[in-house]
Amino acid sequence: MPLYSHSRLGTYENCPFQYKLRYVNKVKPLLGNSIESFMGSMVHDSLEWLYKLAQDSNVVSKETLLEKYDKLWNENWTDTIRVVKKDLTADNFKETGQTCLEMYYDRYHPFDQSITIGLEERMMIELPENKKMQGYIDRLDKIGDGHFAVHDYKTSNRVPPQSKADKDRQLGLYALAVHQRYPEVKKIDLIWHYVRFDEEVCSSRDQKQLDSMISSTVSLIKEVEAATERKDFPTKTSMLCNWCEFKAQCPEYSHQYASQNDAPTLSTTTITALQAAETVDKLIELKEKKKNLSSDMDAMMETLESQLFNYSKESGHTVVFGKDYKASFNTSESVKIPSKKDLKRYELESSLKELELWDDVQEMSVWKVKSMLKSDNWSEEQKEKISNFLDKSENPRISLKKL
């Protein structure tokens, strides 16, 4: 029976295909970790080190904390780590992490607000129908008798609304895990530390909320298990794809990477990946040429039609004969009701109501207005008055028929 976690279930929700590669096939990603993830890990590891020392009454200075962060960064850095945002560098993210730690240190020093019980604490969670989950709590504190606090550090670049925190599955699972391990605990504070902004987002869960979370989580696990049984893991594209370590192995993006190496996208293909990319560019080029040519031809046809209409009007000929085709000319009148922003619209509605004709037009139906203007239901005086408020235009038409 697989051991699930919030991140594992979140992977399936974000992209079933990524879930398949990571958890079912256990494929090694071809791309490196993102700089955002790496920076977050270094900040987490630095704070874990800080609190481990503080547990033994060794409160280090801010400078020492930053030196530890710098050391962790350099020791763990690899050139495979990707900076997705083109206008930023790795140094920008390193500096951001440093700023996060400085603000956190200034706010919580000397770190004696509560008693730290566990750091990166592995918690097992029992769910109905023999489902099991695990999670790692960044920091678990005791605030008082029967009162615990779960702390989770976030380095993301936005602070979520309170409503999201109150519905978050990860926080709910943490609360459930603490209740199961420490049944005597009556109150659990769930605290997100958004260290980029020196902000805390606090939440809690009552039994009703926990029951609802348990039910939805079990349902999701069963959905994942059914998909695994069917081997049904479709791709799901989103903005998150840019940061995915499996992007080069995903059918939605794999050609982009294959073309860079001039490798065939399929073993049976007759062209290379690079040639396929060039073919796409050529197809777009032809479509643009076709579009431009079509626009030029439309303009030429419009000119020719205008010349024929002017000839018909001046000569009085309603039909012009060519070698194999004849052109017939007619004109239809178009009636348009003024827009709601037009003063004439207000005047038209007022006149219709004044003449007690409002019900006849079914609240300004264009078709109904035109129909009533042609019918005998309105007097000529009424028609003339209403017509004054309508926008009219003539639409000339040419009909081409073979001789």
Selection from 326, 323, 298, 325 nearest residue 312 by Cα? 326
- The pLDDT of residue 199 is 96
- The pLDDT of residue 270 is 67
CA distance 164 to 151: 16
User: Binning pLDDT at 50, 70 and 90, where does residue 265 land?
Assistant: very low
CA distance 194 to 104: 9
Tell me the mean pLDDT in the region 276-283. Answer: 80
Residue at 240: amino acid letter: L
- The pLDDT of residue 222 is 96
- Ranking 164-178, 304-318, 384-398 by mean pLDDT, the lowest is 384-398
CA distance 195 to 154: 6
pLDDT reading at 350 higher than 90: no
Residue 304's CB: how many other CB atoms inside 10 A?
Answer: 10
> What percent of the chain lies above the pLDDT cut of 70?
95
Beta bridge partners of 232: none
18 Cβ neighbours under 8 A, 6+ residues apart: 11, 244, 246, 250
The pTM is what?
0.69
Tell me the mean pLDDT in the region 159-183. Answer: 96
CA distance 177 to 119: 15
Give 275-328 as a 3 state SS string. HHHHHHHHHHHHHHHHHHHHHHHHHHHHHHHHHHHHHHHHHCCCEEECCCEEEE
DSSP state of 113: S
pLDDT reading at 74 higher than 60: yes
Torsion of CA 59, 62, 66, 69, to 10 degrees: 30
Tell me the mean pLDDT in the region 61-68. Answer: 98
User: Binning pLDDT at 50, 70 and 90, where does residue 322 land?
Assistant: confident
Please tell me which residue, 403 or 109, carries the higher pLDDT value. 109
pLDDT reading at 271 higher than 80: no
169 Cβ neighbours under 8 A, 6+ residues apart: 6, 9, 213, 216, 217
The answer to whether 269 and 43 are in contact (CB under 8 A) is no
CA distance 241 to 257: 14
Q: Which CATH class is domain 6-230?
A: alpha beta
Please tell me which residue, 59 or 384, carries the higher pLDDT value. 59
Tell me the mean pLDDT in the region 142-168. Answer: 95
- CB neighbour burial string for 311-322, b if at least 16 within 10 angstroms, e if fewer: ebeeeeeeeeee
pLDDT reading at 306 higher than 50: yes
- The pLDDT of residue 363 is 63
Averaged pLDDT score across all residues of the chain = 89
For the chain, what are the domain ranges? 6-230, 259-315, 318-402
The answer to whether 193 and 200 are in contact (CB under 8 A) is yes
What are all long-range contacts of 340-348, with beta carbons under 8 Å and residues at least 24 apart? 344/389, 344/391, 345/389, 347/389, 348/386, 348/389, 348/390
pLDDT reading at 148 higher than 90: yes
- The pLDDT of residue 269 is 57
> What percent of the chain lies above the pLDDT cut of 90?
61
User: Binning pLDDT at 50, 70 and 90, where does residue 264 land?
Assistant: very low
Cα 173 to chain centroid, rounded: 25
What digits encode the pLDDT tens for the residues 16-30?
999 999 999 999 999
Work out the angle at residue 334's Cα, subtended by the Cα atoms of residues 333 and 335, and round it to the nearest 5 degrees. Answer: 120
Residue 180's SS3 state is helix
Tell me the mean pLDDT in the region 87-107. Answer: 97
Q: Is 48 exposed, middle or buried (0-12, 13-18, 19+ CB in 10 A)?
A: middle
CA distance 165 to 233: 29
- CA end-to-end distance (rounded Å), the chain: 80
Tell me the mean pLDDT in the region 341-358. Answer: 81
